[in-house]
Structure formats: C-alpha cells, structure tokens
Homo-oligomer: A and B are copies of this chain.
C-alpha cells in the first residue's frame, strides 16, 4: 500500500538527485520515509536519498518496493507548476502508479524491481576532513576545472586552513581556493583526492546553488557530499570513488 501527496518541487528535487546517476531505480516505500539507493553502471558514483514522511502533505506506506523509470517520472512531475501538489497512489494489482496533478491523471507502468541493478551499501568511512560550503562554490570550481581537464582534485591544506578545488590540464591549470571565511565550516585534516570530473558535474546539476553541502574528504579515498532539500526533510548523500593519482 502506498498513497501520498507531495509538492511538485520537492518531488522534482528528489528525482533529479538520483537521475543524474541512473535511469531506473528502486524506491523503498517505508512506513516513515521514502528511500532510494543507487549506483551508476560503472560502480563509481552512488546516491543515498531519504525523504521523510513529514516532507509530504500526506503519506501512507507499508514497506513495499517499486521500480521506476526516472526520466519518465521527471517528465510527469515537470507537467506540474512549482506550487502544485502531486498525488501518488500504487495499484498493487496492476503494479501501476497513479499520478494526479490538478485534473491530470497519469498511469505509470512500473518496472520489476528485480530487473534493476542491486542497491549499493554505502559504507561509513570516517574521513579526516570535513568542509561545509555553498553549492554555488562547488559549481564554480567544477566549471573552472572543466575548462582544462577531465579530472578534479579536492584538497584541504591544514596549515593554510583552506579548501582547494584544482585541475591540471596539458598546458593550463586552474584552482579555486576557499579560505575558512569563504566556507560555512571547516574541520581541517589530511585530505587530497582526485576524481572524475564527469561524475561531479552530474552531481552538481542536482545540488541547489544555495544548499549547504557537507564534503567529507580523505587521502585517495572516496568523497561524500551531503545536502538537504524539501525544507530539511529530504537528505541526499553522494559518494564518489577516487581516481588513482599519477605523480
């Protein structure tokens, strides 16, 4: 059983954060929250999303799992105006999801969850550095890095108390230096890792410019990016595997 009403903008934020990594996903309709975990086909980027029951206008669920085509669901949510409410109701017999937006009804065929890639376990990593920064700053660093390279280095300089977003191209280099006063918070620690820029660009598309993004970073370790949406009642964690640094 699943029956819920949610604002179109909250639904869209939730879907966008997952669709940047995968086309299809399982959605867990838990009693107290909707939850999605997914990993991209290359096993490089993962996403863990929860949207609490309180983020919905109304929410009833009993622990089922459905499989959805994310682009299709995004298109439907895209039909709504930001203020519109979206009604979702699962028909257990036909395995279809009924979606209603102000007189418009959409009957969405679901995907067999068993046909969808297994959900990843996102490990606790206890990383030595933590940076809290505006989404817009991360976007700035990514755009600049994209001018010169396919890779991006995230680095904390403990002595300088600064966070660096860096890229080295064949002829040109770029770095964005964010000092303690440019950041919302910084717990400095030994941290420097290289990542594929394509994945960070995709994740950045979903991160709101004004979000507080908590970045957990280590030395040649995966990075974790956390942010909230839906007035704090939705949480997204991205985890991205590092590239081996060639020196």
Contacts from A to B (Cβ < 8 Å):
72, 75-76, 79, 103-109, 140-141, 143-144, 147, 171-179, 182
Could you tell me if B177 and A106 are in contact, using CB atoms closer than 8 angstroms? no
A104 interface neighbour in B76, B103, B105, B140, Cβ under 8 Å: B140
Compute how far the CA of A230 lies from the CA of B177 in the bound complex, rounded to whole angstroms: 29
Could you tell me if A177 and B140 are in contact, using CB atoms closer than 8 angstroms? no
Contacts of A182 in B (CB 8 A): 103
Compute how far the CA of A104 lies from the CA of B176 in the bound complex, rounded to whole angstroms: 4
- Nearest to A100 among chain B residues (CB) is B177
A147 interface neighbour in B72, B103, B174, Cβ under 8 Å: B72
Could you tell me if A172 and B105 are in contact, using CB atoms closer than 8 angstroms? no
Could you tell me if A147 and B109 are in contact, using CB atoms closer than 8 angstroms? no
Can you show 19 pairs from A to B with CB atoms below 8 A apart?
A: A72-B147, A75-B147, A79-B143, A103-B177, A103-B179, A103-B182, A104-B140, A104-B141, A104-B144, A104-B174, A104-B175, A104-B176, A104-B177, A105-B174, A105-B175, A105-B177, A106-B147, A107-B173, A108-B172
Shortest CB-to-CB span from A176 to chain B, Å, is 5
Compute how far the CA of A105 lies from the CA of B105 in the bound complex, rounded to whole angstroms: 51
Shortest CB-to-CB span from A113 to chain B, Å, is 16
Compute how far the CA of A140 lies from the CA of B106 in the bound complex, rounded to whole angstroms: 13
Could you tell me if B104 and A173 are in contact, using CB atoms closer than 8 angstroms? no
Contacts of A72 in B (CB 8 A): 147, 172
Could you tell me if B107 and A174 are in contact, using CB atoms closer than 8 angstroms? yes
Q: List the 5 closest pairs (A to B, CB-CB), nearest first.
A: A109-B171, A107-B173, A104-B176, A106-B174, A105-B175
Could you tell me if A109 and B143 are in contact, using CB atoms closer than 8 angstroms? no
20 additional contacts (CB under 8 A) given A103-B179, A105-B175, A105-B176: A76-B147, A79-B140, A79-B143, A103-B176, A103-B182, A104-B140, A104-B141, A104-B144, A104-B174, A104-B175, A105-B173, A105-B174, A105-B177, A106-B147, A106-B172, A107-B172, A107-B174, A108-B172, A109-B171, A109-B172
Contacts of A178 in B (CB 8 A): 103
Compute how far the CA of A244 lies from the CA of B176 in the bound complex, rounded to whole angstroms: 53
Shortest CB-to-CB span from A206 to chain B, Å, is 21
Compute how far the CA of A79 lies from the CA of B141 in the bound complex, rounded to whole angstroms: 10
- Nearest to A106 among chain B residues (CB) is B174
